[in-house]
Chain A
Amino acid sequence: MGFSTKIFFITILILVVASCTTDDNAAKDEQKPTIDINYNEGFPQACSQLVRGETYSFKAMVSDNAELASYSLDIHHNFDHHTHDDQDGECSMDPKKTAINPWIFIENYTIEDGLTTYEINIGLTIPNDIDTGDYHCSFSVIDETGWQSRTSVDIKIIE
């Protein structure tokens, strides 16, 4: 019993030591980047109406505690109401319809090294031949470690 008790305590000690050593959390990046369109120049704002053929600057602010790496912009139709945005308030939706020639914009970009804040600014001309109606626009950003944040906004494209 004495011998086994001793072993028992030694193993507990090993467990405790193992659990406390080399905890270099300080060096580890455990924070997600942030992404936001809720500022004056942020675009598009929730429920915006965009006109075909016009050119717009899509803008969002991103920041990270360590280093930003890349971002993306995805614009796709929501004619079937399959999703909704993460902004306050509900936008009024058109009736559901079948897509014929929907606009699909899918693009990735990298951010130059060493930045912790950055303003996404993508100039886009909305094609003239695409379907009008409800669209879903989502920005996302990844930091150097691989943490990702997203935000999305419901918009309408009109004639």
Chain B
Amino acid sequence: MLGVWLYFSLCSITFAQDSFQIEGSVVNANTLQPLEGANIIGKGLFSISSATGTFTIKNVVKGTYSLTISHIGYSSETATITVGPKMDTLKVYLRDTVTELEDVEVNGKTHKRKAQELATVSHTVSKDFLDKNRENSLMQTLKNIPGVSTINIGSGQSKPVIRGLGFNRVVVVQNSIKHEAQQWGNDHGLEIDQYGVETVKIIKGPASLQYGSDAIAGVVDIQALKLPGQNSLKGEVNLLGETNNDLLGVSAGIQGRKNKWFYRGRLTYRDYGDYKVPTDRINYENYIFELHDNNLRNTAGKEADASLGIGFISGNLKSETNFSNVNAKNGFFANAHGLEVRSSNIDYDSSNRDIDLPYHKVNHFKITNNTSVGIGNHTLQLDLGYQNNHREELSEPVPHGYMPTPPDSKERIFDKNTYTLNIKDSFSPNQRHDVAAGVNLEYQDNNIGGWGFLIPAYNRFTIGAFAYDQFEVHPNLHVLGGLRYDYGVLDSKSHYDWYPSTVNNSDGSTSYVYLQRAKNKTLDFGNISASLGISYIHKNTTYKVNLGKSFRMPLANELASDGVNYHMYRYERGNLDLDPESSYQLDLDIDHTTASFSFGASPFVNLFENFIYLNPTSNYYETLQIYEYTQSKVFRAGGEIRASTTVLKNLQLDASAEYVYSRQTSGPKKDFTLPFSPPLSGLFSASYQSKDFLFLGRPQVRADYRITAAQNEIVPPEEVTEGYQVLNMSFTAQMNLFKSAKPFDLRVKLNNVLNTHFYDHTSFYRLIDVPEPGRNLSISLTVPF
């Protein structure tokens, strides 16, 4: 016994003879405030930072050590330090992360763990991902996630597509309120300031249970911003420049909190010119459009956004009110409006920054309030929302069919008000159950104007009630089951042409009639949604199985439209007998993650009982092809696979692939696919993080190589699209220019490095043979303060 004691004390003495002391401090990289309680861990070394952020590790033998500095709510940092005489003190800057832990930590489970236990297949996108991958619109940024694609028109506008379905089949939620605009429209983008987004949850499957009608194919849930820390004040300015469309963008955000009150605000302005395509002429059918300086004529645009949020947090009450306004103006390619070839006297080529006709203007104003109160083991969540979406589509007035030249350029005007109320109660009757129940109410009032008619004015009221329970069978086995019922009333308003049409009567006479395009009609719909799923966690692997039924109420245009869409050369006829779409989906998800390697697969099988489809018929109406809203059975299957590994210490490789197979199994287009079906596509990425270099911290180089197969599965009026390969490169780093200031974030991105000429099957401009944008160099600088 004495021998053992002696041995240890001797050892300590020996070590003490040539040992040193590591001293350092840990600070928050954004606020530069000291961080207390950070763990500093190295091989055989351990320390915790004090209230002043400092730490000391004594008795360290001479040598080189790698220390990991971590703190709850911050991303970990690794520092390499050479221990010896004349050592500097170590200073560590930690960045807070959004995804690490929730503010309210009930059972000490991380976000990640909670997501693993949840049976629904979802994907959470962090601020870090958004910052590194930022493209011209939020949806283009999210495109790098397997299973997510976009339908684009031009460089600044895109709408979400999840596993091949989009438009009104994907719900976008911001601050728990469904974003309501003119989602059905081909040339509609998403009116959300992407700089004001921190975390996005993507659900790739039917999610009506929680999100109601329209969440039939998936959800893009933009989550509430993280609460600022107590007594903090911080902000950032982001500057962005791009070469392809000569974009200049600036966004400035600020947030602060005293004790109980907090606030945040953001201003964003972007202005861009026509985008460049890697060709100097476009061949569309027999037409040839010569492009000036590779510019896609009249695709310039601008955007100005502002938002302000004020919140209060105290004890178990939290309430935040947000005001936001997004205003955008975008030009459309001038040589063709829709599919129609147009000539004009406008001198489009005099400047690549002017926005001439045809263009659209949109303003989206939104007020939301999110309040949650904890009462005993209940949490009551109340969400209130008001949105006004005002959209104007302007084009040169031109006569069409029996319509004479219209008096002005206001082709279509939409003005939509949406009022939302969600009430939800979550409670845990015991340790093993997490129960939630609630109601969602929504009222929409959609008005139309202008000389072109596409959809009728309507009012719509929907109410839905749901309940679900997550049951912990075993700490690693969770079952989630829920039921929902929705009821909706749609009241469409009558509409008459403003000009008379020539009608040949059966008795041989001719009359001139102001045709009725929509009728006054009240329709009501009811539907049940349900979901049942299991999550099983076994060591590093998570298995999920989920079966869901979702629905979507038919839209006013699907039910009641009766109008000529001259620019698409079609006449669209609604059908008042449409049933709500209902869809059944079986999802599997396997995820295996270890420190150095991870892979996952998420296959699915999906059946639509009555998919609403705009079917091109073989008949004409006033020389325009009749397209009819019909319902058909649809079978879909596919999924995503992903793998990533850290080959060397600083080299990470990622690979993913996505595929969807769609078939209409009944109806007039039996055996055909669905419109805008994304082709098989794979993305390979390699990123290398090198050591700090001069004033550059954590410099990282990344290459993304996308390989997309040809899309031979088409439906009229689409065309087969060839496959393509495109390379994007990026470089990110923190710039420590001034010792006292927080580091700047630098991002240099080179998209379409080889200026490849390719078509995207799901781009609206594909229909008129316009290729995707050419090479683009973008430089972004974020300056925190």
Contact = CB atoms under 8 A, between A and B. Distances in A.
Contacts of B592: 1, 4, 8
A119 B619 CA distance: 18
Contacts of B343: 81-84
Nearest to B620: A108
B342 interface: yes
Nearest to B341: A83
A11 B588 contact: yes
Nearest to A67: B618
Interface string B110-143: 0000000000000000000000000000000000
Interface in A84-138: 84, 86-87, 99, 102, 104, 106-108, 110, 138
B285 A86 contact: yes
Nearest to B345: A81
B399 interface: yes
B620 A76 contact: no
A154 B404 CA distance: 19
Given A4-B541, A22-B663, A82-B342, A99 B625 contact: no
Given A86-B287, A87-B286, A99-B404, A147 B344 contact: no
Contacts of A8: 590, 592, 599, 601
A25 B599 CA distance: 34
Contacts of A108: 619-623
Given A15-B603, A15-B659, A104 B590 contact: no
B590 A7 contact: yes
B623 A72 contact: yes
Contacts of B449: none
A12 B625 CA distance: 42
A150 B285 contact: yes
B724 to A, nearest CB: 19
A69 B668 CA distance: 14
B616 A107 contact: no
B617 interface: yes
Interface in A1-53: 1, 4, 7-8, 11-12, 14-15, 18-19, 22, 24-25, 27-28, 30
Nearest to A17: B637
A76 B399 contact: yes
B638 A18 contact: yes
Contact of B622 (A18, A25, A69, A106): A106
A80 B620 contact: no
A11 B543 CA distance: 13
Contacts of B344: 82
A4 B590 CA distance: 8
Interface residues of B, number: 55
B46 interface: no
Nearest to B541: A4
A77 interface: yes
B641 interface: yes
B399 A11 contact: no
Contacts of A81: 343, 345
B590 A140 contact: no
A138 B619 CA distance: 16
Determine the main DSSP class of A at the interface with B: mixed
Contacts of A72: 620, 623-624
A99 B637 CA distance: 55
A99 B399 contact: yes
B619 A142 contact: yes
Interface in B149-163: none
B396 interface: yes
Nearest to B712: A25
B641 to A, nearest CB: 7
B619 A77 contact: no
A73 interface: yes
B615 interface: yes
A4 B597 CA distance: 14
A117 B19 CA distance: 96
Given A106-B623, A108-B619, A146-B716, A83 B286 contact: no
B672 interface: yes
A113 to B, nearest CB: 11
B34 to A, nearest CB: 43
B643 to A, nearest CB: 10
Contacts of B716: 145-148
B402 A18 contact: no
Contacts of A87: 286
Contacts of A22: 663
B714 interface: yes
Contacts of B569: 140, 148, 150
B398 interface: yes
A159 interface: no
A23 B52 CA distance: 68
Interface in B241-293: 285-287
Contact of A104 (B345, B402, B615, B659): B402
Interface string B622-641: 11110000000000011101
B550 to A, nearest CB: 21
23 contacts: A1-B541, A4-B590, A4-B592, A11-B590, A18-B605, A18-B637, A22-B663, A30-B714, A76-B399, A82-B344, A83-B342, A86-B285, A86-B286, A106-B502, A108-B619, A142-B616, A142-B618, A142-B619, A146-B616, A146-B618, A146-B668, A147-B716, A147-B717
Given A4-B592, A7-B601, A102-B399, 11 more contacts: A1-B541, A1-B592, A4-B543, A8-B599, A11-B603, A24-B671, A28-B671, A99-B405, A106-B622, A142-B620, A146-B668
Interface of A: 1, 4, 7-8, 11-12, 14-15, 18-19, 22, 24-25, 27-28, 30, 69-74, 76-77, 80-84, 86-87, 99, 102, 104, 106-108, 110, 138, 140, 142-148, 150-151
The 7 closest A-B pairs by CB, nearest first: A69-B618, A86-B286, A108-B620, A146-B616, A72-B623, A74-B623, A18-B637
